[in-house]
């Protein structure tokens, strides 16, 4: 009986470790990236600020196959008219790769 307990604990530990390894580091890094690129000045995960909440964006575009490309371009080049009268200004300090990482993270906020 004593030999079974360490095996059960090992299985729990192995399962937890496997789950951590499967979790994308980009998911953790993207919140930090959003802060570092000052996205949080206009956006919040759950509530509308100057721009829409990330969750609202995810709900609207989460199933759109073209969303990553279209939204990534809007992050870099700017856009307007979709969420109200306030346009999103261009973000020249965000590379296309960073924009794609941010958009994927935003779309995961459903």
Residue 105 pLDDT more than 90?
yes
Please give the radius of gyration of the chain, using alpha carbons only, rounded to the nearest integer. Answer: 19
Q: Would you state the pLDDT for residue 60?
A: 97
Residues 6+ apart with CB under 8 A from 40: 34
Residue ranges per structural domain of the chain: 26-107
Q: How far apart are CA 48 and CA 44, in angstroms?
A: 7
**pLDDT tens digit sequence for 52-77:** 999 999 999 999 999 999 999 999 99
Question: Which one, of 104, 57, 110, lies nearest residue 79 by Cα?
Answer: 57
Residue 51 pLDDT more than 80?
yes
Residue 28 pLDDT more than 90?
no
Distance of CA 9 to the CA centre of its chain: 33
Query: In whole angstroms, how far apart are CA 63 and each of 5, 58, 66, 86, 110?
Result: 44, 8, 9, 25, 11
> pTM of this prediction?
0.74
Token pair of 8 as six digits: 């059960």
User: Which CATH superfamily, name and number, covers 26-107?
Assistant: Cytochrome c-like domain (1.10.760.10)
**pLDDT tens digit sequence for 72-101:** 999 999 999 899 999 999 999 999 999 999
Query: Taking the alpha carbons of 23, 28, 29, 31 in that order, is the dihedral positive or negative?
Result: positive
More confident residue, 18 or 9: 9
């Amino acid at each position: 009986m004593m030999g079974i307990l360490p095996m059960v604990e090992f299985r729990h530990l192995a399962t937890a470790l496997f789950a951590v390894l499967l979790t994308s580091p980009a998911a953790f890094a993207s919140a930090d990236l959003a802060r570092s690129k000052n996205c949080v000045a206009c956006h919040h995960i759950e509530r509308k600020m100057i721009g829409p909440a990330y969750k609202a964006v995810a709900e609207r575009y989460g199933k759109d196959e073209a969303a990553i490309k279209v939204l990534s371009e809007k992050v870099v080049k700017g856009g307007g008219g979709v969420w109200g009268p306030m346009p999103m200004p261009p973000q020249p300090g965000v590379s296309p790769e960073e924009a794609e990482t941010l958009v994927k993270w935003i779309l995961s906020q459903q």
